[in-house]
Amino acid sequence: MTIERRLKPQINIDLTPLIDIIFQLVIFFMISSTFKTAPGIELQLPDSGTATAITITELSVVAVSEDEVYVNKTRTTAQGAESVIRLELEGKQVDEVQAVLEAGAEAPYQLVVTLLDSLRRNGVDSVGLSTRTTAEEAP
């Protein structure tokens, strides 16, 4: 017959506070993080006194130079932009597509016109030009 000790220490670790802290950290990082939708290009946008915000765009065209144009994160040139736009618009109702064209303040005017022509040849008539309001300061 064996006799057990009655004063045997019970060691239990309560994980509830640890789980609460981890959950709060996850929520904090989810709320405080931001996500970029553009391909990470810094542009010095031109100023505009009548700029308005656009909430949803289906097609984004970012012009850095003649040799560097992004169509929805796909890198191309100004000459190849028309075919990339055509590929991006496959299966979409072209009449309802809204596009935003972003070009730096130092971008040549001919580049902007070339990209506008590429959009219109593919049937996109609703094109917004991205600017910044004069109240915003340059970075």
Residue 27 lies in a domain: no
**Percentage of the chain surpassing pLDDT 70?**
78
With beta carbons less than 8 A apart as the criterion, state whether 125 and 59 touch. Answer: no
Asked if the structure places residue 95 within a domain, the reply is: yes
51 found inside a domain: yes
Q: What is the pLDDT of residues 38-60, one digit of tens each?
A: 556 666 777 777 766 655 657 88
Q: Is 14 part of any domain?
A: no
What angle separates helix 109-121 from helix 81-88, to the nearest 10 degrees?
Answer: 40
Residue 31 lies in a domain: no
Distance CA 93, CA 37 (A): 22
Q: What is the CATH number of the domain that holds 66?
A: 3.30.420.270
Residues spanned by the domain of 122:
47-133
| Region of 60 on the Ramachandran plot (φ > 0 left; ψ -120 to 50 alpha; else beta) | beta
Is 9 part of a structural domain of the chain?
A: no
Task: Count structural domains, the chain.
Answer: 1
Q: Confirm whether 6 is domain-assigned.
A: no
Report if pTM > 0.75.
no
